[in-house]
Amino acid sequence: MELYSGKINKLIEELTSLPGIGAKSAGRLAFYLVNQPEERVKQLTDAILDAKKNIHYCKECWTLTDEEICPICKNPKRDHTTIMVVENTRDQAAYEKTGKYEGVYHVLHGAISPMLGIGPGDIRLKELMKRLEGDVNEVIVATNSSLEGETTAMYISKLIKPTGIKVSRIASGVPVGGDLENIDEVTLLRALEGRTAL
State the pairing for strand pair 56-57/64-65: antiparallel
Contact 41, 33 (CB under 8 A): yes
Q: What is the pLDDT of residues 111-124, one digit of tens each?
A: 999 889 999 999 99
Longest Cα separation, the chain: 65
* pLDDT given for residue 198 in this prediction: 43
Q: Per-residue pLDDT averaged across 41-57, rounded?
A: 95
Task: Render pLDDT for 168-188 as a digit per residue (tens, 0 to 9).
Answer: 888 776 666 666 566 666 666
For residue 176, the model assigns a pLDDT of: 61
Query: What is the CATH architecture assignment of 77-171+187-193?
Result: 3-Layer(aba) Sandwich (3.40)
What pLDDT does residue 175 have? 67
Whether the pLDDT of residue 190 is over 80: the answer is no
The model's confidence at residue 41, banded by pLDDT at 50, 70 and 90, is very high
Average pLDDT over all residues of the chain: 88
**Which pTM does this prediction carry?**
0.79
Model confidence at 1, pLDDT cuts 50, 70, 90, reads: very low
> Any idea where the domains of the chain sit in the sequence?
77-171+187-193
List, for residues 81-120, the tens digit of each pLDDT value. Answer: 999 999 999 999 988 888 888 999 999 999 999 889 999 9
The pLDDT tens digits for 135-155 are 999 999 988 888 898 899 999
